[in-house]
A and B are shown apart, each in its own frame.
Chain A
Amino acid sequence: QKEVEQDPGPLSVPEGAIVSLNCTYSNSAFQYFMWYRQYSRKGPELLMYTYSSGNKEDGRFTAQVDKSSKYISLFIRDSQPSDSATYLCAMSAGGATNKLIFGTGTLLAVQP
């Protein structure tokens, strides 16, 4: 069983929809949670960072962490065709090396 599980999709939604992307994890030591966006043939781009439990909002994006359920989510409001990309969750227990464990990514397509 992988430490981090993420539905690969693809997920197809109409423009303007609310998108929900999710990851589950098994390591209760994870404290740092990130979401990356990766466009085709590009490097991953850090989108959101959250420490421990709770919500964080940045424009149309909201990240949620529920440590009791070992579940994290990324919500995208008013989705745009430019949001079409692969979204990767990543998490870390912290410490000196700052190593991240990544989900395999969810491919999102926003249809105009």
Chain B
Amino acid sequence: DAGITQSPRHKVTETGTPVTLRCHQTENHRYMYWYRQDPGHGLRLIHYSYGVKDTDKGEVSDGYSVSRSKTEDFLLTLESATSSQTSVYFCAISESNQGQYFGPGTRLTVT
């Protein structure tokens, strides 16, 4: 994950507050993805982007929004955090069908 960074790496927030997670890549890959990982559910796609300003919903998009104003940055916003959004969030990038490359993750706790 040398070309992908996520910030913050850890965050604790209160229910009802907005939260923004950032994914930054230096690989110039076209596709970017946000996943959440929970025990028993594995990795689930929240939103993805196929270009600047081009985004679409994934499997578990309710309560989340995204923005991509530059190729290198993909932001995930929890509009009003809930305890069910406590999870580990991973960003991934891709340029082809030959796999996605993941960042180090953000551990989010909503109290």
Contact = CB atoms under 8 A, between A and B. Distances in A.
Interface of A: 6, 31-32, 34, 36, 41-46, 49, 51, 88, 90, 92, 94, 96-100, 102-105
Contacts of A100: 45, 100
A99 B61 CA distance: 14
A43 B42 contact: no
Interface of B: 1, 31, 33, 40-45, 48, 50, 56, 58, 90, 94, 96-105
A45 B48 contact: no
Contacts of A32: 97-99
Contacts of A44: 43, 90, 102
A46 B105 contact: no
Contacts of B41: 104
A43 B99 contact: no
Give 10 nearest A-B pairs by CB, closest first: A104-B42, A43-B102, A102-B43, A46-B99, A44-B102, A32-B97, A102-B42, A94-B97, A49-B99, A43-B104
A88 B96 CA distance: 19
B43 A43 contact: no
Given A32-B97, A99-B58, A42 B105 contact: yes
Nearest to A8: B40
A98 B90 CA distance: 16
Nearest to B4: A43
Given A36-B102, A97-B50, 14 more contacts: A6-B42, A42-B104, A42-B105, A43-B1, A43-B102, A43-B103, A43-B105, A44-B43, A44-B90, A90-B43, A97-B31, A100-B45, A103-B42, A105-B42
A98 B94 contact: yes
B103 to A, nearest CB: 6
Contacts of A105: 42
Nearest to B39: A104
Contact of B96 (A41, A43, A45, A98): A98
Contacts of A43: 1, 90, 102-105
